[in-house]
Structure 1
């Protein structure tokens, strides 16, 4: 079962960093974008296999020198209902455990493009707000 057929995506907002030419602190900060996305899910009482919720990918042109990417959930996943699958330059946020509504999750994801010696070239943060309905569909 693919989750794309049963969830509703509310909207996405992306904030891109723009630094003044002489702002050293801004220029040396690797965070390039902060994304906010919102989803509505039904109650899902059985998860036989991980269900992809959304695909994650970099939007920065500075990732051309990246040797690999790393996606991770930093917070909001206290019950381990979600995970992130990494593959090449893509990641997938997946539902891996049942979610029973009404419930809410605010996940903070970090997406890093890594260069040689695993040095962070660019970083992107994503806040994913998930609202779980009491109803099943």
Structure 2
């Protein structure tokens, strides 16, 4: 009996570890922060990654390389502040297939990225960060979730 119990306990442990590992790989939402406040050091703000999930909004640092696809979102809007790099951001218009088969924005407004400026991108608004050739662009993102 004790050997069977230990085998079952071991198998359950392996199963739980597998489920946790697989769910982490799927990019499950970060748990809601319970901290009374947050302070992020400058070094953390230069490294891409999640900063926190605060319920109806979240914050992260993103980096875009040359060739990044355009995006649009139906369940959240963005606030972006560019922190490093050079290039353009295309806002508005429609996402279509380009001549080379890659997605592109048609009819959008192109703006030169200005470090430190804040950009608001409403729900369902096409947008694309386009770094200059051979470079990347890093920016702070706050996602405001739509309450359903």
* Length-normalised TM-score, structure 2: 0.32
Between Structure 1 and Structure 2, whose CA radius of gyration is higher? 2
* Length-normalised TM-score, structure 1: 0.34
Q: Which has the higher strand share?
A: 1
Q: Which has the higher helix share?
A: 2
